[in-house]
Amino acid sequence: MLSILEVEINSLGFDVWIRPLRPLMTDGDSLVLRAPTSTFKSEVTARYMPFLKEALRGIDGAPSEISIIATDELDEKTKVEVEHKEPEKKPEVIEKNTINPKYNFESFVVGGCNRLAYAAAQAVAENPGEVYNPLFIYGGVGLGKTHIMQAIGNAVRMSMTNLKVLYVSSDTFINEFIESIRTAKGANQTFRDKYRGVDLLMIDDVQFISKKPSTQDEIFHTFEALRSAGKQMVFASDRPPQDIPDLDSRVRSRFASSLVVDIQPPDLETRIAILQKKAQDAKVNIQDSALEFIAEHVPGNIREMEGVLTKVIFLAKLSERKIDLSVCREALNDYRVQTCDEITADEIIDCTCRYFNVSKDDVVGKKKNKEVVEPRQIAIYLINDLMTLPLTSIGQIFGGREHTTVMHARDKISAAVAADTKIRTAVNDIKAMVLRK
């Protein structure tokens, strides 16, 4: 259920409002979730209940109804039972549900933005361990990296039932590695057996192993063990291996040792095709003008676009209306896009720092290493592009730099946007982050 919701809801909303929910009990044909507080419960019910119900309907054998209760609404006896309840084989449940059956090659819409990644993924699924090993896929948030990785997993599971397939996020890998060190003797070997005993290992969002030397060392040795055994590995990140900061050179070279492919933001035609496919899967009729309206107003991030479509379908069913432009406009009411007049330089710098995983002090300071200079120049370019500040004022924001330095940064990134897909992707992604803030 979580893997389905993570696709439908933007990452910030998922982490803030969905991840803290806990299953409390099943009562007949109803699933009861526990929220931390009454206020939290009210917010989730108002904003995300349609998504929760939709996700539940997508799971075979799941309860048909869902409700939420706040911890402070429980009686004292139930609170004690909840707080002391033993975990029910949590690792087994997580592993079982890591690959979403809806993520397959048939449901993946191919366009110019992702054609190479799609072809490489299919080749890996047909001959795991023999071609493109490892396969490294990178691209911005919500562009389909997780979908295409899990499509590989589903294809291998279907055609080669004897192979062991494991998909995890880097966050899961990191947490399990830390737990294996912290707990009883022998747990570390259990962890290693789990990750080195599979035929296909897929780790998502590997950029988050930055600045974690012990985790990087473990991934390096896992990589070597799997490659020597002829097992397939697939990694995904929001940037290519050479641009992940504070990454061990051995790990960086392993990530880049076979095929590195990128997924670009989809153009308008591809976005419309994605929405058409999503509507077809949902078995609903939607006017082409409505799909085009959504595609135009939610550019770049496929996950957000699909979430908006899910809301459109829900609103139409709720009010028993056909899906037209009026329903789409209603669904997009709370999808607020900032105007350029509302944007601040701090917001642009903050979004840039989050995207590149660097500190604000470094970006506006005097450091001149590549990991800081490129984000700084992109931030300068975006401030110049989205705001109406004099070059001298921009220079003051960045530690009192001369206006000629600002001009150089602006012109350099402007040229790179036209010629370098990596820079263009970063600029588009950060701009989308700023405008959605």
CATH number at residue 359: 1.10.1750.10
Residue 92: per-residue pLDDT: 36
Strand order in the sheet with 259-263: 165-169, 200-204, 232-237, 135-139, 259-263
- Per the CB < 8 A criterion, the answer to whether 180 and 187 are in contact is yes
Residue 28: per-residue pLDDT: 57
Residue 107 lies in a domain: no
- What CATH number corresponds to the domain at position 176? 3.40.50.300
Last residue of a domain, one of 232, 263, 294: 263
Is the sign of the CA dihedral 32, 35, 38, 44 positive or negative? negative
Distance between CA atoms of residues 117 and 121, nearest Å:
6
The number of folded domains in the chain is 4
Instruction: Please indicate, yes or no, whether residues 120 and 226 belong to a single structural domain of this protein.
Output: yes
Distance between CA atoms of residues 213 and 155, nearest Å:
33
Integer Rg of the chain from CA: 23
Residue 296: per-residue pLDDT: 81
Instruction: Please indicate, yes or no, whether residues 183 and 320 belong to a single structural domain of this protein.
Output: no
pLDDT, tens digit (0-9, with 9 covering 90-100), for 227-286: 999 999 999 998 899 988 889 999 999 999 999 999 988 888 888 998 998 888 888 888
Instruction: Please indicate, yes or no, whether residues 166 and 136 belong to a single structural domain of this protein.
Output: yes
CA angle 131, 133, 136 (to 5 degrees): 120
Last residue of a domain, one of 85, 101, 129: 85
Residue 399 lies in a domain: yes
pLDDT, tens digit (0-9, with 9 covering 90-100), for 3-26: 555 555 555 566 667 777 888 776
- Pick from 159, 161, 164: nearest CA to 127: 159
Instruction: Please indicate, yes or no, whether residues 272 and 231 belong to a single structural domain of this protein.
Output: no
Q: What is the mean pLDDT of each run of 10 residues along the chain (437 residues)?
A: 56 68 72 82 82 72 78 59 46 52 90 92 95 92 90 94 93 89 72 94 94 92 95 94 91 94 86 89 85 80 82 86 85 62 87 89 90 94 89 93 93 88 85 74
Last residue of a domain, one of 312, 331, 350: 331
Instruction: Please indicate, yes or no, whether residues 259 and 274 belong to a single structural domain of this protein.
Output: no
Residue 109 lies in a domain: no
Residue 7: per-residue pLDDT: 54
Instruction: Please indicate, yes or no, whether residues 193 and 69 belong to a single structural domain of this protein.
Output: no
Instruction: Please indicate, yes or no, whether residues 284 and 177 belong to a single structural domain of this protein.
Output: no
- What CATH number corresponds to the domain at position 318? 1.10.8.60
Domain that holds residue 279: 268-331
Residue 380 lies in a domain: yes
Which residue's entry shows tokens 């300071």?
Answer: 365
